[in-house]
């Protein structure tokens, strides 16, 4: 998404390094296999920074990767989508997102297509563009978003176990979040949907942002 701010710190990179070591034990990295990793969690939980930190540590061992953000796949641009939510709270949920398109992009990547075409949201302009990405040299696709674990396309699924109350400070620091009773209602609805994804995760980042493998 154009207009989003991603700032990595040493904590994000350290956790990404631990995730990388886990992935290296389970997958044939650097052997031209196409691997899809999904990172899910609530707003402000750290999905974006985890995805881009993982991309960075992969790059350090010469593995090229691609990050897809679910926010680019909303069917309506951001401000219009917010107005649609104001009309009815029933407009909140996975149906706001073109998950079929996202799934198709993941499948095309795993088919080793040289180029994938995806939507690209421009937040400030409240518009959705299209971009073509060259992915032939990429070995890992990292997808982050609230509802992405609705999909069955991932080889490895990560869930960040911090809810919207835990992440209040993080959300207020982001450039596109605002404080209002309505936004908190939206986040509560999302919470009740997203919390179920934890049960399907291969790896959980706990409230202290530490990796835990479910038993």
Q: What pLDDT score was predicted for residue 169?
A: 64
The span from the CA of 76 to the CA of 92, in Å, is 12
Residue-by-residue DSSP string for the chain: -BT------HHHHHHHHHHHHHHHHHS-TTTT--EEEEEEESTTSSHHHHHHHHHHHHHHTT--EEEEEGGGGBSS-HHHHHHHHHH-GGG-SGGGB-HHHHHHHHHHHHTT-SEEEEEEEETTTTEEEEEEEE-TT--EEEEEESSGGGSS--SEEEEE---TTTTHHHHHHSTT----HHHHHHHHHHHHHHGGGGGG-SEEE-TTS-EE---
pLDDT confidence of residue 86: 95
What the block records as the tokens of 198 is 């934890």
Quote the pLDDT of residue 5.
63
pLDDT of residue 28: 85
CA-to-CA dists, residue 114 to 107, 120, 138, 154, angstroms:
12, 19, 9, 19
Fold entry, domain 10-212? Rossmann fold (3.40.50)
117 token code pair: 């075409």
Per-block average pLDDT, block size 10, for the chain (215 residues)? Answer: 71 96 90 91 93 97 96 96 96 97 97 96 94 95 97 97 79 59 91 92 96 91
Cβ-proximal residues to 199 (8 Å cutoff; 6+ apart), any chain: none
Question: Is the distance from CB of 20 to CB of 58 less than 8 angstroms?
Answer: yes
pTM of the model: 0.91
- Residue whose C-alpha is closest to residue 14's, from 53, 51, 41, 47: 53
Q: Contact at 8 Å (CB) between 147 and 71? A: no
């Amino acid at each position: 998404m154009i207009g989003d701010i991603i700032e990595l710190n040493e904590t994000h990179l350290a956790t990404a390094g631990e995730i990388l070591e886990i992935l290296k034990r389970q997958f044939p990295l650097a052997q031209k296999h196409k691997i899809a990793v999904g990172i899910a969690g609530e707003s402000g939980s750290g999905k974006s920074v985890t995805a881009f930190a993982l991309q960075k540590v992969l790059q350090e061992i010469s593995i090229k990767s691609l990050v897809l953000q679910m926010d680019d796949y909303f069917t309506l641009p951001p401000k219009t989508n917010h107005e649609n939510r104001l009309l009815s709270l029933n407009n909140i949920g996975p149906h706001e997102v073109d998950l079929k398109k996202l799934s198709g992009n993941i499948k095309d990547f795993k088919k080793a297509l040289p180029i994938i075409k995806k939507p690209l949201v421009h937040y400030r302009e409240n518009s959705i563009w299209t971009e073509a990405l060259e992915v032939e040299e990429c070995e890992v696709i990292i997808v982050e978003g609230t509802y992405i674990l609705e999909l069955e396309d991932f080889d490895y699924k990560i869930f960040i176990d911090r809810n919207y109350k835990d992440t209040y400070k993080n959300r207020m620091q982001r450039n596109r979040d605002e404080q209002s009773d309505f936004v908190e209602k939206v986040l509560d609805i999302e919470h009740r949907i997203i919390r179920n994804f934890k049960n399907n995760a291969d790896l959980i980042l706990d409230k202290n942002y530490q990796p835990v493998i479910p038993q």
